[in-house]
């Protein structure tokens, strides 16, 4: 696979990269900010622009979980607006991540067309089977951490333990849970124990950068401390990532089938290639961590769940399934396969999420985000951006991801994005606006709870947290500044006035586009 011995092959790999870049852009190229960029990108941007949302309580909290990445990438935002910076960072992550995956595919013996096909199928199928793991989406630290981790895998397959330690340490520094579990599960993939001198060098090369990522997280004040808080974090706040009891059983079965296929394919025809051997052992180690997480869930050891033990296995398994299937098929593996492997492969292909449908489902909202009309809620938040003073603090729907990016104003609390410090106060703020939230509370119920927010609770938010205005789809006995459909902007300090009695009001016809069916709007004191 050496480009020097095969002139022109470099162009094949560049073409593969271009095709995959287009596919990734179609799936995840939504208008900036998109998805989790509504939180992580804004925190990054504030490191280069400290006056941006300077009075927001959540954004003022330390961000120890991605400390190194934030302090490298954040200052790079200084010359740019947030949209340009986010688009550039997203593109850099896609190019770097895809290039590394192609390097791994080439090391595994795939040609450029086969590598592009395998990675396109993996992207289209959603990248992971459960736990919502991903490598290539928005501009986040995990994209770069995964890239470093796959370079560590390549080094492990070559017995270059020093390079493996360095890349794994960098991955841990960028994203402690991705890199930390990655480093632990890569250890068994070493073909033979290194000498004491090389092992010490590899350990040092890992430990120095890893400490930069881990120590800020360990030393952060006011984080999750009690058993009840760990349980809340794992089972209430992030069950899609941390609670296997909420995942479809068929997906868990599929994950096991894919892993079995990967092992059989590797053992039957690919085992002599060092990268396949290392990748298979890596998956087995990641499967052990995944199983330990399931046991911890049953045993109630929620603190272990909060280390994200389910991150790697659901992502690695489909990735190497598609890579392995393409490599195996290209070498005539079907003709040599036994009945067990054929049965597992047919079952896996029948059950794996359709890459074509997956691509279409992801591309539709991403593409339409660039030209769709704003919702009534977004219009109300946009009015706040244009008309309210920069030091205003909003009571805004805590379940809506775009509060900061649309309004460009501070908010009392976000239920979606929590700080990793001051966890207890974050819960108190959310409980004031939504009441106590338990397992299984969906977005519709949260929206209905917020709609029932009373003027007394709003005034309490003003007293405790300095809130100045409220954006809500209900009538309140406060001074209404603007209305967009059923979403209204109120001044918390002002008393109610007759409709039309204030010159700043904008009240177009009512719309129920943003309300769950069966809901009503009532005035509450």
pLDDT band at 94 (very low <50, low <70, confident <90, very high): very high
- pLDDT at residue 115 is higher than 60: yes
User: Nearest to residue 383, comparing CAs of 402, 409, 401?
Assistant: 409
Per-residue pLDDT tens digits for 260-310: 989 988 888 778 889 999 999 999 999 999 999 999 999 999 989 989 999
Render pLDDT for 225-242 as a digit per residue (tens, 0 to 9).
678 888 898 899 999 999
pLDDT for the residue 7? 37
384-to-180, 327, 499 alpha-carbon distances in Å = 42, 55, 19
Segment 22-47 mean pLDDT: 95
Place of tokens 């008309």: 387
pLDDT per residue over 196-206, tens digit each?
999 999 999 99
300 vs 190: CA distance, rounded Å: 33
Provide the pLDDT for residue 336.
Answer: 67
Whether residue 33 has a cis bond before it, omega within 30° of 0: yes
Q: Tokens 């106060």, residue?
A: 425
Give the pLDDT score at 474: 96
Structure confidence at residue 434 (pLDDT): 96
| Cβ-Cβ contacts under 8 Å for 492 (sequence gap 6 or more) | 395, 458, 459, 461, 462, 467, 468, 469, 470, 478
Count of Cβ atoms closer than 10 Å to residue 4 Cβ: 7
For the cut 60, the answer to whether the pLDDT of residue 162 exceeds it is yes
**What local confidence, expressed as pLDDT, does residue 496 receive?**
61
Mean pLDDT on 74-93: 97
Provide mean pLDDT across the span 317-339: 82
Q: Which residue has the higher pLDDT, 309 or 512?
A: 309
pLDDT score, position 331? 76
Place of tokens 């804004």: 42
Q: What was the pLDDT predicted at 8?
A: 46
The model scores a pTM over 0.75: yes
**Of the candidates 209, 444, 179, the residue with the CA atom closest to the CA atom of residue 312:** 179
- Domain chopping of the chain, boundaries: 3-365, 376-495
What pLDDT, on a 0 to 100 scale, did the predictor assign at position 270? 79
Give Dmax over CA atoms of the chain in angstroms.
82
Who contacts 505 (Cβ-Cβ below 8 Å, separation ≥6)? 480, 481, 482, 483, 499
Phi, psi of 483 (to 5 degrees): -140, 135
Token pair 């300077």 is found at 54
Percent of the chain's residues with pLDDT above 70: 90
Q: Are the beta carbons of 356 and 298 closer than 8 angstroms?
A: no
Q: What is the mean pLDDT of the chain?
A: 89
Half-sphere exposure of 355 (CA within 13 A, CB side): 15
pLDDT at 333: 66
The reported pLDDT for the residue numbered 507 is 40
For residue 391, count CB atoms less than 10 angstroms from its CB and return exposed for 0-12, middle for 13-18, buried for 19 or more: exposed
Beta-bridge partners for 472: 488
């Amino acid at each position: 696979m050496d480009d020097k011995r095969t002139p022109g092959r470099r162009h094949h790999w560049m073409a593969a990269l271009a095709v995959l870049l287009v596919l990734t852009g179609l799936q995840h190229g939504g208008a900036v900010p998109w998805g989790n960029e509504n939180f992580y990108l804004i925190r990054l941007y504030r490191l280069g622009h400290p006056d941006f949302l300077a009075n927001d309580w959540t954004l003022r909290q330390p961000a120890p979980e991605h400390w190194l990445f934030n302090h490298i990438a954040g200052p790079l935002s200084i010359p740019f607006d947030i949209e340009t910076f986010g688009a550039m960072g997203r593109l850099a992550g896609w190019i770097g991540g895809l290039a590394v995956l192609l390097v791994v595919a080439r090391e595994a013996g795939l040609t450029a067309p086969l590598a592009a096909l395998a990675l396109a199928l993996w992207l289209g199928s959603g990248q992971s089977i459960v736990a919502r793991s991903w490598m290539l989406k928005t501009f986040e630290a995990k994209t770069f951490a995964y890239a470093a981790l796959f370079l560590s895998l390549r080094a492990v397959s070559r017995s270059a333990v020093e390079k493996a330690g360095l890349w794994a340490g960098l991955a841990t520094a960028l994203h402690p849970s991705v890199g930390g579990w990655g480093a632990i599960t890569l250890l068994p993939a070493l073909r033979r124990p290194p000498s004491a001198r090389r092992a010490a060098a590899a350990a040092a090369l890992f430990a120095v950068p890893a400490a930069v990522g881990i120590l800020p997280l360990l030393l952060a004040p006011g984080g999750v401390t009690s058993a009840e808080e760990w349980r809340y974090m794992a089972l209430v706040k992030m069950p899609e990532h941390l609670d296997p009891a909420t995942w479809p059983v068929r997906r868990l079965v599929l994950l096991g089938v894919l892993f079995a296929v990967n092992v059989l394919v590797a053992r039957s025809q690919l085992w002599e290639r060092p990268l396949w051997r290392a990748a298979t052992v890596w998956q087995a180690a990641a499967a052990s961590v995944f199983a330990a997480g399931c046991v911890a869930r049953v045993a109630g050891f929620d603190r272990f769940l909060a280390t994200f033990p389910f991150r790697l296995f659901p992502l690695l398994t489909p990735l190497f399934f598609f890579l392995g299937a393409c490599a195996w098929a290209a070498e005539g593996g079907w003709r040599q396969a036994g009945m067990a492997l054929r049965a597992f492969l047919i079952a896996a292909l029948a059950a794996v999420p359709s890459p074509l449908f997956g691509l279409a489902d992801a591309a539709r909202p991403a593409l339409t985000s660039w030209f769709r009309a704003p919702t009534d809620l977004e219009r109300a938040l946009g009015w706040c951006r244009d008309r309210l003073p920069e030091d205003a603090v909003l009571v805004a729907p805590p379940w809506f991801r775009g509060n900061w990016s649309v309004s460009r104003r501070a908010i009392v609390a976000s239920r979606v994005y929590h700080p990793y410090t001051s966890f207890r106060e974050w819960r108190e703020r959310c409980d004031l606006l939504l009441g106590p939230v338990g397992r299984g509370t969906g977005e519709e119920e949260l929206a209905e709870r917020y709609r029932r927010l009373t003027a007394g609770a709003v005034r309490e938010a003003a007293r405790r947290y300095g809130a100045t205005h409220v954006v809500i789809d209900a009538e309140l006995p406060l001074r209404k500044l603007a209305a967009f459909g059923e979403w209204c902007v109120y001044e918390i300090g002002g008393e109610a006035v007759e409709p039309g009695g204030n010159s700043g009001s904008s009240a177009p016809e009512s719309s129920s586009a943003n309300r769950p069916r069966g809901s009503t709007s009532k005035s509450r004191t």
